[in-house]
Amino acid sequence: EEGLSGLYRGLNSTLITLFAANFIYFYAFHLLRLLLNRSKLFQMLKKNLKISQAVINLSIGTIAGGINVCFVQPLWVANARLKLQDSSKPSADHYNGMIDAIIKIRREEGLFKLWAGVSSSLLLCCNPAIQVTNFLQQSQTVAAWPDLPCQFAVLEAFILGAFAKWVATITTYPLQVAQTRLRFGKTSTSSQTGQVVEYNGTLDCLFLTFSSRGMETKLWHSTLISALMFLTYEKIQRLVGNAIIAKVAKKSKVN
């Protein structure tokens, strides 16, 4: 009905939002971990309380996710509106790109509407935390295997990234359903009663929805994105690491 372009609606805004979200999340995650590793007080507490690295990574991931939500939520709200609007019927409410969507939402619905669904998004901070923690723990386990072939490294990152996101999505999918509906910011019609449904927050949305429809599609979408993301992340990390090692070795020879 909408042609091939309908399948790629909102692609530009999605790419911009994903770039901003992943940059802020990983920057915050590594910065927090670096600061904690340098803190003598934290190292003392870690030793005395016997806190495992998995718990530390999960906590850091959750905090980094909260920072990410505070900055990127308006972009996700605008992105959701762009994806769900009916492009075949232009109207006064039609959004012409992400900036236009943010301006119109701010002007017509108020500033706080740009943070619609922020409560469910904050609860979903555990999603990337579960994902990253799972990936790091599994990576350490696989790295400890004896006689691991070097060529397995790329496939390893892809498989572990996909599995980590699969676990995180299964765990938090109902919250993701609520998040999407709250971001859309408009009422919807119940498929059972035909009545207009209004959501008053995350818990109310979860109660009224009471199902995890679309999980299969979301699993394929999320796991493939995560697998490719961690594959790229590992490759970049190793390239940068090798470049730093080579530079240090070169300086040592000169001295």
pLDDT of residue 71: 92
Residue span of the structural domain in which 223 resides: 118-255
Do 130 and 232 lie in one domain? The reply is yes
Which CATH number do you get for residue 99? 1.50.40.10
Do 127 and 97 lie in one domain? The reply is no
| 151-160: average pLDDT | 68
pLDDT of residue 198: 61
- Across the strands, what pairs with 196? 189
As to burial, measured by CB atoms within 10 angstroms (0-12 exposed, 13-18 middle, 19+ buried), residue 46 is middle
If one counts the domains in the chain, the total is 2
- pLDDT tens profile 202-230: 566 655 555 445 556 666 767 777 777 77
**pLDDT at residue 190 above 60?**
no
**pLDDT at residue 31 above 70?**
yes
Do 135 and 69 lie in one domain? The reply is no
pLDDT of residue 255: 64
| Contact status, residue 94 vs residue 85, Cβ threshold 8 Å | yes
- Residue with more model confidence, 69 or 146: 69
Do 129 and 255 lie in one domain? The reply is yes
Do 92 and 150 lie in one domain? The reply is no
Do 102 and 162 lie in one domain? The reply is no
pLDDT of residue 211: 47
Do 42 and 137 lie in one domain? The reply is no
**pLDDT at residue 151 above 50?**
no
**pLDDT at residue 232 above 70?**
yes
Q: How many CB atoms lie within 10 A of CB 97?
A: 13
% of residues, the chain, pLDDT over 70: 69
Do 9 and 103 lie in one domain? The reply is yes
Looking at 115, 130, 165, the residue that finishes a domain is 115
Longest dimension (CA), the chain: 79
- Summary mean pLDDT of the chain: 75
Do 105 and 122 lie in one domain? The reply is no
Looking at 63, 98, 115, the residue that finishes a domain is 115
Do 88 and 65 lie in one domain? The reply is yes
Do 104 and 175 lie in one domain? The reply is no
- Residue with more model confidence, 136 or 69: 69
**pLDDT at residue 92 above 70?**
no
Looking at 75, 93, 115, the residue that finishes a domain is 115
What sections of 85-151 are H helices per DSSP? 98-109, 118-123, 126-143
Do 111 and 122 lie in one domain? The reply is no
Name which of 31-35, 81-85, 165-169, 207-211 the model is least confident about: 207-211
Sign, CA dihedral 114-120-126-130, equals negative
Reported confidence tier of residue 189, pLDDT bands at 50, 70, 90: very low
